[in-house]
Structure 1
Amino acid sequence: MPYPSKLTTERIEDVAWERFQAGGEEALSMRPLAEELGVRAGSLYRHFDSRAALLRRLAQRAARDLQGEILRAAEGHEPRNALQATAGAYLHYARTNPHAYALLLVPGETLALPGLKTDAGKALWLTLLGLVGALSGDPDDTDHVVALWTLLHGAASLERAGMYGASGPRGGITLGLNAILDHAQEAGRRRNAPS
């Protein structure tokens, strides 16, 4: 097979993303990917020096996708409602994109660092930091972001593992989310109170 001039990094990423979303890391072998693209496996290495490099690229895409979902959910809402919508979007993304979500937070066999350690992962963090800071009044409110992320990741992980059982999480996620948001909101009130 000749090296097609239309083979681009973006085309490889798009096809790899489809394969990855359908079957996870196990579905992303370079030879079958090359066959689907109509090229030899060696052609892929002109764009990605290894499978791990391709997975890192997909991890960045997952972080950008989740960030986009969060921004769309938060748009047009007051800070507290924006964070409630964000929580829903986060859990929905984890539920409907399990392979991409796992790539974000759990290093795989060939991926030494999770996707949150990428530039796109840092942008996702900064998005959450901005949303939480709008409620608490602290633009660097790492404590509340960590609490929120811990709650959401824990809920997503427990759901994925089937640990909630038939009754589901019931009101537990809402209870935890409201506790974090109440605390952040109160911190904002104290910060803005006249001295």
Structure 2
Amino acid sequence: MAYPAKTDRDSILATALEQVESEGVENLAIRSVAAKLGLAPNALYRYFESLAALKAALAEEARLQMLEIMQKAAGRKGPSETIRAISEAYLRFAQQRPRVFALYLKTSGPDSHTPQCARNTEFFLEQVTRVYGEEQAWKASHALWAFLHGLAVLLDAGVLPPEEAFTSLKFGLQIWIDGALSSSKHR
């Protein structure tokens, strides 16, 4: 039996992401995604065995989108400028797409060490290594990621208005980069 042309994995993911962006992941349902595609819910189960499987695929899609945004921001910049660019892109993604960003951070359960999650971590670590060197890269990347995530959470909660969050980002990045310069003098 042939599947309708408008039913494919990418169409389902795109429609589900739209729903997450407008209504939140907590309101995501197989039935509502199917309805938006003009299909019976059973058609989606051919691609995703459950709502949990669809959410896991959406988290992977959010991670892929974040990686593409960070790679584009990095371009061919020098090490410090790359860190600034990917950090700003990360925070901008969190600000502009908070519900998709929440999916990006979803790392509990069976999807916690997915290939896409590993690719994002590798890319981030490679950029940090360019600034801090291999010996301190893991610690430095955790510190930077925690800083970025903290700003994203404060921004989403309304504790920091966008202009203050981005000003704090610049200030914190300067301290982080200065720390790399300082630690390289002591090596």
TM range (shorter): 0.7 to 0.9
Tell me the secondary structure at the aligned position of residue 159 of structure 2: coil
* 1:94 maps onto 2:90 in alignment: no
Query: Residues 37 and 92 of structure 1: is their aligned pair in 2 closer, same or farther, counting only changes over 3 Å?
Result: same
Q: How do residues 9-24 of structure 1 correspond to structure 2 at under 5 angstroms?
A: 9-24=9-24
Name the Cα RMSD after superposition: 2.5
Tell me the secondary structure at the aligned position of residue 54 of structure 2: helix
Query: Residues 27 and 15 of structure 1: is their aligned pair in 2 closer, same or farther, counting only changes over 3 Å?
Result: same
Specify which of 173, 177, 185 is matched with residue 181 of structure 1: 177
Other-structure match for 2:32: 32
Other-structure match for 1:118: 114
User: Which amino acid in the other structure matches residue 56 of structure 1?
Assistant: A
Counting helix residues as a fraction of each chain, which structure ranks higher?
2
Across the two proteins, how many residue pairs are aligned to each other? Answer: 186
Question: Take 1:170 and 1:8, find their aligned partners in 2: how far apart are those partners?
Answer: 39
Other-structure match for 2:84: 84
Query: Residues 114 and 64 of structure 1: is their aligned pair in 2 closer, same or farther, counting only changes over 3 Å?
Result: farther
Does the aligned pair in 2 maintain the 1:69–1:89 contact within 8 Å? yes
User: Which amino acid in the other structure matches residue 122 of structure 2?
Assistant: L
Q: How do residues 38-187 of structure 1 correspond to structure 2 at under 5 angstroms?
A: 38-106=38-106, 112-113=108-109, 117-138=113-134, 141-164=137-160, 168-169=164-165, 171-187=167-183
> Which deviates more, 134-143 or 44-53?
134-143
Tell me the secondary structure at the aligned position of residue 168 of structure 1: helix
User: Which amino acid in the other structure matches residue 21 of structure 2?
Assistant: Q
Tell me the secondary structure at the aligned position of residue 156 of structure 1: helix
Cα deviation for residue 8 of structure 1 reads: 1.4
Does the aligned pair in 2 maintain the 1:104–1:116 contact within 8 Å? no
Question: Take 1:28 and 1:130, find their aligned partners in 2: how far apart are those partners?
Answer: 35
Does the aligned pair in 1 maintain the 2:74–2:83 contact within 8 Å? yes
Does the aligned pair in 1 maintain the 2:6–2:37 contact within 8 Å? no
> Which deviates more, 60-69 or 133-142?
133-142
> Which deviates more, 29-38 or 126-135?
29-38
> Which deviates more, 56-65 or 9-18?
9-18
Unaligned runs of 5+ in 1: none
> Which deviates more, 171-180 or 88-97?
171-180
Does the aligned pair in 2 maintain the 1:66–1:90 contact within 8 Å? yes
Does the aligned pair in 1 maintain the 2:67–2:120 contact within 8 Å? yes
TM-score (norm 1): 0.84
Cα deviation for residue 189 of structure 1 reads: 5.0
Does the aligned pair in 2 maintain the 1:132–1:184 contact within 8 Å? no
Q: Percent identity among equivalent residues?
A: 30
